[in-house]
Amino acid sequence: MIERAIENWLTNTTERNYQAPFCQVLLREGQKIIHVSTHGPMEQGKDIVTVDPDGIPCAYQLKSGKIDLAKWHAIRGQVVDLIELPVSHPSVDKGKGHRSFLVTNGIITDPVRQQIVDINEDNRRRARGCSNLDVIAGTALAKKFIDAQGRFMPEEPTDFQAFLKLFLADGTDFLDKGTYFRFLNDCIFSDAGGRKGTATDAISSSVIIVSYLLDPYQRCKNYYALFEAWTCLGACIARHAHRSRLADTEFGPSLELVISEIVRNLSLLRDEALNRPHLLEGSPIGDGALVYQARATIVLGASAALDCYGSSREAPRPRDGKLLDVIRRNIRRLAFWCEWFFPHLFWVIKYLELQGDRTAAEFLLRKALRLTVDLNSPGKAAGSPSPYYSPKDLLDFTLEAGLGRSEPDIDFGQFCGSSFILAPLVEMLARRGERRFLQDSWPAISRIFMKEFRPDNPEDTFLWRAEQGANHEEQPRSPESWVRLVQGANDVSGVPELLAKHAKLLRFLILACPHRAQPKIIALLDKVS
């Protein structure tokens, strides 16, 4: 049944959706990946470039569907570039030559195969120096995926039930992260600490399995759910590698593949949002108010995180200005009605600062602090829900309550007098020198307990729910020393080495798992981004 699921997914997916797992197949075969396509103008027909175990460069061009004569003529120019143009990469000797592969998830018809044979023979006869063109298609490609997934498939009824729940999910909905994390950790990464070979095989298999497990979201082009899924997989890999004591070289290439999928899906989400006249979805009559606020905050926060990531890796590159314009138009519509939104607002603030709009960034940061203090003040009837409650949880609850259905109540009074995001907000303001604002706000701030869940083991930060750890509560000092406050806000020495090592992943994890936006993690990201 599982093999059938792989074949069905592979037959119907696109080359972009099977690119990452195919890269993982190549890694498993001992190849070193030196380039993965972003489909830019300089690709020269090469979607993936590797160096095989014999040191020979290999170039792959990926396609989807049946390649008949009509399609062959349409792509022939790219194939010519693939076999004739040398691999252009600093680590490759252009004079060494390379191997070329045309890959498709469909079939290659006999007339096209004959043309490939004729081209190869003609190039050899004329000694033109072109590489030989090999093909990987249909059944042969499916076998590579099936072999690569190994033995890491559901066997226990509960694991198989979780697999089916994810595989048959509504692709337009949010990812069920609780089920997703349980499936990954119980079915694939359950043997951490065993043999290294088994540990690395689990990572390799996870990339393959997740690729077709996400088929419902791929079909619906639900880029945010896909972004969350790849981010959560990255978290599971980081935790598994740490617990299995793997060297960076043993898991790093697979984690980089996962991060490339995170970035790709965020880029698609960003482009879709910015190429629309508004952020409404469906009929404006039924879409607005809290729903619009939630969508705008999620999409713009994720887009801002992507742009901040790009700028942290290279010199800030010019943008078309669309994202900045959309954020400015929606800045008063961003959601503050539950603490789940904090990481998204964090990245919007960071993006505005990166773009030089410190006035707008200051407005958002101050507003977030004011509303947190106001909504969570002790003695109120209802407070702002903690980051453990998603907007979907709260909107579903509101709908059920409005329809008069008997559903378990959310006690909003439990959130009064404490906050999970108050500490990181105060520290952000302190790092920015907002002494007067904090001084004026301190009487109200000091009445609210700052809450934080601290896992006993740093690697459990990469779990959806950590079983070992404790909730920490601390009431702000009153009066408080400004010098002490600033020193504490800038001190990241308490960040575990494991988390600092994975700062690149953490910038995305706090969006997928907002309850992991702990003060020290926010301080780390605030300083390195």
Contact 85, 64 (CB under 8 A): no
**Residues 257-275, mean pLDDT to the nearest whole number:** 95
Q: How many CB atoms lie within 10 A of CB 97?
A: 14
Confidence of residue 272 (pLDDT cuts 50, 70, 90): very high
What is the token pair recorded at 210? 């997740």
Single-letter amino acid code for the residue at 443: P
Report the phi/psi class of residue 150: left, alpha or beta, with left for phi > 0 and alpha for psi in -120 to 50.
left
To the nearest whole number, what is the mean pLDDT of the chain?
91
Contact 125, 174 (CB under 8 A): no
| DSSP state string for 485-507 | HHHHHH--TTS-HHHHHTHHHHH
Print the SS3 string covering 150-164.
Answer: CCCCCCCHHHHHHHH
**Residues 78-95, mean pLDDT to the nearest whole number:** 85
Residue 374's H or E segment, with its range, is helix 358-375
End-to-end CA distance of the chain: 45
All residues at 6 or more sequence positions from 480 whose CB lies less than 8 Å from its CB, including other chains: 442, 446
Tell whether omega for the bond before 253 is within 30 degrees of 0, i.e. cis. no
Residue-level pLDDT at 285: 61
pLDDT tens-digit readout, 121-142? 998 887 777 899 999 998 999 9
pLDDT at residue 149 greater than cutoff 90: no
**Strand, coil or helix: 511:** helix
pLDDT tens-digit readout, 441-452? 999 999 999 999
pLDDT tens-digit readout, 194-251? 678 889 999 999 999 999 999 999 999 999 999 999 999 999 999 999 999 999 999 9
**Residues 457-462, mean pLDDT to the nearest whole number:** 97
All residues at 6 or more sequence positions from 87 whose CB lies less than 8 Å from its CB, including other chains: 46, 49, 57, 59, 94, 98
Helix and strand numbers (H, E) in the chain are: 22, 8
pLDDT at residue 407 greater than cutoff 80: no
What is the rounded CA–CA span in Å between residue 252 and residue 123?
38
**Residues 315-332, mean pLDDT to the nearest whole number:** 79
What is the rounded CA–CA span in Å between residue 521 and residue 518?
5
pLDDT at residue 282 greater than cutoff 80: no
Residue-level pLDDT at 93: 76
C-alpha closest to that of 308 among 352, 268, 343: 352
**Residues 109-119, mean pLDDT to the nearest whole number:** 96
Q: How many CB atoms lie within 10 A of CB 422?
A: 24
**Strand, coil or helix: 85:** coil
**Residues 492-511, mean pLDDT to the nearest whole number:** 96
What is the rounded CA–CA span in Å between residue 36 and residue 48?
5
Count the residues in the chain: 529
All residues at 6 or more sequence positions from 403 whose CB lies less than 8 Å from its CB, including other chains: none
pLDDT at residue 314 greater than cutoff 60: no
**Strand, coil or helix: 66:** coil
What are the start-end ranges of the H helices in 275-341?
A: 289-313, 322-330
C-alpha closest to that of 235 among 310, 176, 184, 200: 184
Q: How far is CA 375 from CA 27, 49, 298, 445, in A?
A: 51, 53, 21, 11
- Please report the beta strands in 37-127, taking only residues with DSSP state E, as ranges in sequence order: 48-51, 57-63, 99-104
What is the rounded CA–CA span in Å between residue 237 and residue 253?
11
**Strand, coil or helix: 343:** helix
Which strands sit side by side in the sheet containing 57-63, from one edge to the other? 32-36, 48-51, 57-63, 99-104, 133-137
Confidence of residue 1 (pLDDT cuts 50, 70, 90): low
